[in-house]
Amino acid sequence: MGRTSSVAGMGTTVTTADVGTLPLEVGVDSTSVGSPSMSLRLRDGGLMEVAEKLDAGTRLDLDDGRRLFASPDLLAVGWLANREREKRHSGQTFFNHNIRIEATNVCVASCLFCAFARLRPGDEGAYTLNLEQVWDKLRAREDQSLTEVHVVNGLHPDLPFDYYLDLLRGFKRIRADVHLKCFTAVEIAFFADLYGRTDEQILRELMAAGLDSLPGGGAEVFAERVRRKICHDKCGTDRYLEIHRTAHRLGMRTNVTMLYGHIETDEERVDHMLRARELQDDTAGFQAFIPLAFHPDNNQMRKLPAPTAAETLRVHAVARLMLDNVAHIKAFWIATGVETAQTALWFGVDDLDGTVQEEQIYHMAGARTPEVLTTDDISRLIRTAGRVPVERDTLYNVVTTH
Ligand code: V47
């Protein structure tokens, strides 16, 4: 017997035992804007037109995105996003057993939001692990059934390209079956410029050494105005997107992120989503869109407040609604906070990333989230939110249904 509970304050009901196989609707009429009270809320929230477009299968545009950000009714926005989420995944919520490795924080870029980077090798707090130290992180987890290694590094000016190729080969030697999701498009562009190759040559060489996919980092905000201010000296938007396009053409899947909650406007957020959607129309290579909540500690934008939970829920919900061609919306719990990530499972989110285990970029910027959640912890978070935990691998093949 399932337990009946209220859904996000909407007065609708769901039986938790059934959530894995929920039909499109959650106690509402999925073919229209829903119950009379929901219609009223959508109307009062300025969302009737958006809801009707969604019902008709018409794509949302920039103005719709603006309306979703401007609506006073966050729960109505969430209700719409949840409906789209359930169309795709019913109550299923994905996560993986992964580890995060940051091999060096030496970085020639000067992004204002970054608390992790150190400009030169000798600077206070700068570190670069040698390959044995990097591989030891995987060796030390021999007993874990992890399926993914996620590597993000600073842009180190002095390391040879062989360092990265050997790093990948070594991981595969230690564990042939592990998926290597390594190096953002920004790192790929940096390697191409530093080592005198094209972006495609770099991708091909890394793939030959064992690279399986690219993470979504480095996207920040695609709008030129924002990029010029917060990350002027790293790979620009066009190149970021072209590198993902090339990666997709070469057969890799990738993710795309958006750093929100600093100086960007709502319109720039929607524009960012639409640019990702446009590439996805051509390639279908993005697996997940990941909004990343800005953390203000220990960086040059520390005077700004961190985004609130309400903002986080709304950004994830709008992403679900705008990105109709991207399968998964991920809440990176390290960035959003565990409780908000759990709540976001009713606001369009169907993925919680993974166990992570070691993370520095957010913790150096003030994140108070734990460094690791076990698969049991994540599974419990999902279950107690009334959703169905599904452990996946990086490519969304099911590992176990918890
Ligand atoms: O690109 C850096 C962000 C990103 C801060 O692909 C910050 O599955 C907030 O991209 N406050 C790297 N954000 C992490 C990343 C990621 C995370 C989880 C999953 C995936 C994936 C990718 O971290 C950077 C930047 O946007 N970042 N500093 C900060 N102070």
User: Which residue is closest in CA terms to ligand 1's atom 2?
Assistant: 114
Average pLDDT over residues 331-350: 97
Under 8 Å between Cβ of 105 and 125: yes
∠ CA 363-369-374, rounded to 5°: 115
Collapsing DSSP states into helix, strand and coil, what is residue 399? strand
Tell me the C-alpha to C-alpha distance, in Å, between residue 252 and each of 108, 272, 322: 27, 22, 24
326 has a pLDDT exceeding 70: yes
Residue 29 Cα to ligand 1 middle (Å): 38
Which pLDDT tens digit goes with each residue over 272-305?
999 999 999 999 999 999 999 999 999 999 999 9
337 Cβ inside 6 Å of ligand 1:
no
Tell me the C-alpha to C-alpha distance, in Å, between residue 229 and each of 9, 299, 328: 39, 14, 30
Ligand 1 mutation pick, 116, 181, 244, 257, max ligand atoms within 8 A of CB: 257
Residue 395 is which amino acid? L
Bridge partners, 99 (sequence order): 149
Helices (H) and strands (E) in the chain, counts: 15, 13
Residue 292 Cα to ligand 1 middle (Å): 6
User: Which residue is closest in CA terms to ligand 1's atom 12?
Assistant: 217
pLDDT band for position 1 (50/70/90)? Answer: very low
Check the CA dihedral 357-365-81-394 and report its sign. Answer: negative
Between 92 and 38, the higher pLDDT residue: 92
Could you write out the DSSP letters of every residue in 12-68? -EEEGGGGGG--S-SSS-TTSS-SHHHHHHHHHTT-HHHHHHHHHTPPP-HHHHHHH
Bridge partners, 128 (sequence order): 104
Tell me the C-alpha to C-alpha distance, in Å, between residue 320 and each of 62, 80, 126, 184, 258: 14, 9, 38, 23, 13
154 Cβ inside 6 Å of ligand 1:
no
Ligand 1 mutation pick, 292, 358, 363, 394, max ligand atoms within 8 A of CB: 292
259 Cβ inside 6 Å of ligand 1:
yes
Between 182 and 5, the higher pLDDT residue: 182
218 Cβ inside 6 Å of ligand 1:
yes
Average pLDDT over residues 185-213: 98
Average pLDDT over residues 65-72: 98
Residue 25 Cα to ligand 1 middle (Å): 33
199-208 per-residue burial string, b: 16 or more CB within 10 A, e: under 16: bbebbebbbe
Beta strands per DSSP E along 34-162: 92-96, 98-101, 148-151
Residues whose CB falls within 8 Å of the CB of residue 308, separated by 6 or more in sequence, listed in order: none
Structure confidence at residue 34 (pLDDT): 66
Average pLDDT over residues 20-37: 50
Bridge partners, 258 (sequence order): 291
Structure confidence at residue 402 (pLDDT): 72
Parallel, antiparallel, or unpaired for β 4-6 and 13-15? Answer: antiparallel
Check the CA dihedral 116-122-128-129 and report its sign. Answer: negative
CA separation for the pair 125, 105 (Å, rounded): 9
Under 8 Å between Cβ of 214 and 220: no
19 has a pLDDT exceeding 80: no
Taken in order of first residue, the domains within the chain and their CATH numbers are 4-89 (no CATH), 93-401 (3.20.20.70)
168-106-304-227 Cα dihedral, nearest 10 degrees: -70
359 has a pLDDT exceeding 60: yes
Burial grade of 31 (CB within 10 A; 0-12, 13-18, 19 or more): exposed
215 Cβ inside 6 Å of ligand 1:
yes
